[in-house]
């Protein structure tokens, strides 16, 4: 009997764990609709003694507003690097274009049905913060191929360039209204972070245009 107990203990596996969560609200300008909206990005760092393939789906839950979002393994974004495995969702939109504030739950479920959960807060914007951006963002091609100028945007930002397959081919830091995208770019997105409001700023995607 003692031997049987020891054998059972030696074959047991530690339950999966969620180590921490990262979340961010981004304020996004869509040039197709000329409208701003809020998007939520949320990622959990998970670990399992059985490997990362055991994780099957992620639930994001806002109990106060009865919101329940499920992201399957084929849909989520994953980052796998030495000692860390992250899964989550980026640019999750909501009706009315506003991300619900308050407490959220992130629940990760394995293929065997084991559930691990972590809670996080999406705080409201502070009362002393400046008003959100509401004006449109316009991009115009310059005289040379790949060169552009932007109006209605911030001075310090990143330019993310993607090819026709949606693959990221460049990520360039830019100061001022003029910027350049590399050859092979099909679309690009402008990104910055508003420290005062505690949210990301994003505009795009913009399609590549011919020089004037």
Q: Is residue 44 part of a domain?
A: yes
Please, are residues 38 and 30 in contact by the beta-carbon 8 Å criterion?
no
Q: What is the total count of domains within the chain?
A: 2
- Clarify whether residues 59 and 84 are in a common domain: yes
CATH number at residue 160: 2.60.40
pLDDT tens, residue by residue, 172-203: 999 999 999 999 999 999 999 998 888 999 99
**Distance separating alpha carbons of residues 190 and 199, to the nearest angstrom:** 14
**Residue-number span of the structural domain to which 193 is assigned:** 138-207
Q: Is the dihedral of CA 94, 97, 100, 106 positive or negative?
A: positive
- Clarify whether residues 18 and 86 are in a common domain: yes
- Clarify whether residues 24 and 117 are in a common domain: yes
- Clarify whether residues 60 and 98 are in a common domain: yes
- Clarify whether residues 103 and 182 are in a common domain: no
- Clarify whether residues 33 and 111 are in a common domain: yes
Q: Is the dihedral of CA 62, 66, 69, 70 positive or negative?
A: positive
Q: What is the pTM of this model?
A: 0.83
Q: Is the dihedral of CA 35, 28, 129, 120 positive or negative?
A: positive
Q: Is residue 42 part of a domain?
A: yes
pLDDT tens, residue by residue, 88-135: 999 999 989 999 999 999 999 999 899 999 999 999 887 787 888 889
The neighbour count for residue 203, using CB atoms within 10 Å, is 26
Residue 146 has phi, psi (to 5 degrees) of 90, -5
Q: Is residue 22 part of a domain?
A: yes
In the sheet that 187-194 helps form, which strands lie side by side, from edge to edge? Answer: 77-81, 84-92, 35-47, 17-30, 199-207, 187-194, 156-162, 168-175
- Clarify whether residues 46 and 105 are in a common domain: yes
208 is written with which tokens?
């590549």
Q: Is residue 58 part of a domain?
A: yes
């Amino acid at each position: 009997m003692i031997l049987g107990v020891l054998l059972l203990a030696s074959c047991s596996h530690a339950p999966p764990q969620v180590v921490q969560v990262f979340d961010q609200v981004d304020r996004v300008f869509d040039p197709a609709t000329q409208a701003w909206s809020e998007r939520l990005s949320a990622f959990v760092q998970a670990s399992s003694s059985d490997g990362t393939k055991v994780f099957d789906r992620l639930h994001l839950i806002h109990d106060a507003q009865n919101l329940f979002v499920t992201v399957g393994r084929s849909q989520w974004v994953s980052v796998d690097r030495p000692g860390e495995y992250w899964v989550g969702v980026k640019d999750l939109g909501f009706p009315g274009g506003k991300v619900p504030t308050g407490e959220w739950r992130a629940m990760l479920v394995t293929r065997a049905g084991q559930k691990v959960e972590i809670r996080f807060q999406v705080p409201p914007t502070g009362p002393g913060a400046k008003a959100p951006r509401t004006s449109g963002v316009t991009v115009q091609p310059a005289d040379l191929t790949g060169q552009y100028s932007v109006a209605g945007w911030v001075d310090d930002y990143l330019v993310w360039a993607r090819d026709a397959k949606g693959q990221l081919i460049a990520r360039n830091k830019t100061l001022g209204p003029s910027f350049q995208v590399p050859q092979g770019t099909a679309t690009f997105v402008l990104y910055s972070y508003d420290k005062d409001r505690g949210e990301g700023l994003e505009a795009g995607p913009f399609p590549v245009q011919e020089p004037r």
